[in-house]
Structure 1
């Protein structure tokens, strides 16, 4: 990792004293405009950020912190990832702070830049569906980044991801083995890498079984339980209706299960485990995995980089398992 630029580096480039840089950074008055401009140019060129945490510490204290930036802390998947990452952070005697993006790139960008200013030692990030090349280049100047669950295109970084393609292929294959040929796909954002891989797995399973892909059976941009429920109800109605549904995440699967409740002959498969699925009156095939281990592995990679590791970039692919839940 490159050395983080310091106030002394800025002072050297601007041709002023570190005290002058401090006065500019803290927006103090009585600084000549040309001096302020020279310092600001040096700050921009070096990518310097004031250490807001260090300013609050007593002499002799150190700020040993990593950050985890996720999508939705209310989702059980992310709570398990957080647990694994925090366990690892504690073993390395680091505190971990957690922030969420709500799938907004602007919120993600602002949050990560704020963490830069606070000088966390490293970042665990679940990126939104947006071009991250410029943002990652900015962040990588001062701290290591490990991506969790998905990796933005064109960004060189360590990552820990699931076997999304293989898991979806196995789940849809299960529905095909049960005799279904009209299988609806209900998913979220097609621009997110996980969704694209799961849709590709769905298509491969159909192809393996000699079943033609029908675009009309694919329904994307369903981000809530209610949207998934309404879509599933429509997909199961009318001529040419689906007889089975694959849901590409746990929230969508909950909506689908609401829609098929009491319907005979409709099978459901989903990606991610679903809370209390074992109590369902009908069987549901779920792609499961160890989300806690995902958090652990990502944090281990991060601490290897924090410790000075310079080996090749690592992409960890976590395996998935298909299990059938429910009482049916």
Structure 2
């Protein structure tokens, strides 16, 4: 359950001064005794008080009527669809949705969350956490505003989360490649420390095992963070004659693989849908899902918390479907 944010009156009581003195210290006014300033600053640090820049004029008991969505990549069509779903729910609850991107940076995630929760005082946050462990940060900020995690679940943080069936979807996609007759199936993915990547790699391995095919680490290319990285990794394997098919662990990786595979007789499967896939000259197996519904469900969980739901944290697994496009 979230806690009440500390106020200037709380700081004043802790420091043994008046709220007006706290205000003067916060606003860095002159003519304040150094020992008084030091006492107020200690109380501010101990209580975790932050001046509310966005809502200084609000009356007690009011909210900002704003929630935030912190994603990793504003350019990726997947996150655009998630944003649409979350925004529709926010509008129904008469809230504005603010969207920000971490660009997969630990520092940006930390700074964005602190700004949104402590300074702008949003009523709640939907967060796609980066690969870095920020257990203390999430736990600390979760005291002041409800959080719901999307796509990934940070270890040790008791909060609601909405995730995709990453392992099951990857397993089904690779099984489809096996059923099409492919036997040397490579894996091209991003950061292996991210929970989604680990689960999708596990699904890939599981599909190979079920088909009686050996797992060959030489066919796994990880830490591809851009379309260009994925293209290079796939091109190297094609040139070496090592593979007859690829599984890409997200839509950006798939685009890179498709670039490398032009003119090559290789199969391609991927997690996530991709734009214009139906226009491809050769069939591609894709793990799809309703991204807007994914975002909407996460937003509904967030508003339930904002409105006082006191149930235990929930983890919802969103269903996926394997389809064939193109060809």
TM-score interval, smaller chain: over 0.9
Partner residue of 1:136? 138
Match of 2:209 among 207, 210, 219: 207
**What whole-Å deviation, never above 9, does each CA across 1:194-227 have from its counterpart, x for those lacking one?**
1111001101111111111111100001111111
The answer to whether 1:304 aligns with 2:300 is no
Q: CA deviation at 1:262?
A: 2.2
Q: CA deviation at 1:62?
A: 5.3
**What whole-Å deviation, never above 9, does each CA across 1:156-181 have from its counterpart, x for those lacking one?**
21111100000000001111111222
Q: CA deviation at 1:90?
A: 0.6
Query: Normalising to structure 2: TM-score of the pair?
Result: 0.96
SS of residue in 1 equivalent to 2:282:
coil
For the 8 Å contact 2:63–2:123, the answer to whether it is kept is: no
The answer to whether 1:157 aligns with 2:155 is no
Tell me the distance in 2 between the aligned counterparts of 1:70 and 1:88: 17
For the 8 Å contact 1:50–1:118, the answer to whether it is kept is: no
Partner residue of 2:98? 97
Partner residue of 2:274? 274
Distance 1:55 1:160, change over 3 A: same
Q: CA deviation at 1:57?
A: 6.0
Partner residue of 2:225? 223
Tell me the distance in 1 between the aligned counterparts of 2:143 and 2:28: 24
Q: CA deviation at 1:79?
A: 0.4
Distance 1:60 1:149, change over 3 A: closer
SS of residue in 2 equivalent to 1:69:
strand
For the 8 Å contact 1:69–1:124, the answer to whether it is kept is: yes
Partner residue of 2:318? 318
Partner residue of 2:199? 197
Partner residue of 1:26? 27
SS of residue in 2 equivalent to 1:68:
strand
Partner residue of 1:85? 86
Tell me the distance in 2 between the aligned counterparts of 1:306 and 1:136: 17
Q: CA deviation at 1:326?
A: 0.2
Distance 1:16 1:314, change over 3 A: same
For the 8 Å contact 1:47–1:141, the answer to whether it is kept is: no
Partner residue of 2:185? 183
Q: CA deviation at 1:308?
A: 1.2
Structure 1, 30-39 or 304-313: larger mean CA deviation: 30-39
Tell me the distance in 2 between the aligned counterparts of 1:39 and 1:310: 34
SS of residue in 1 equivalent to 2:243:
coil
| Cα-Cα RMSD | 1.6
Tell me the distance in 1 between the aligned counterparts of 2:74 and 2:34: 45
Q: CA deviation at 1:63?
A: 2.1
**What whole-Å deviation, never above 9, does each CA across 1:240-272 have from its counterpart, x for those lacking one?**
x110000000011011111112223x1100000
SS of residue in 1 equivalent to 2:310:
coil
Partner residue of 1:4? 5
State how many pairs are aligned: 325
Can you give the 5+ residue segments of structure 1 that lack an aligned partner in the other structure? none
Partner residue of 1:247? 248
Can you give the 5+ residue segments of structure 2 that lack an aligned partner in the other structure? none
Tell me the distance in 1 between the aligned counterparts of 2:316 and 2:33: 52
For the 8 Å contact 2:123–2:145, the answer to whether it is kept is: yes
For the 8 Å contact 1:162–1:320, the answer to whether it is kept is: yes
Q: CA deviation at 1:12?
A: 1.3
Partner residue of 1:293? 293
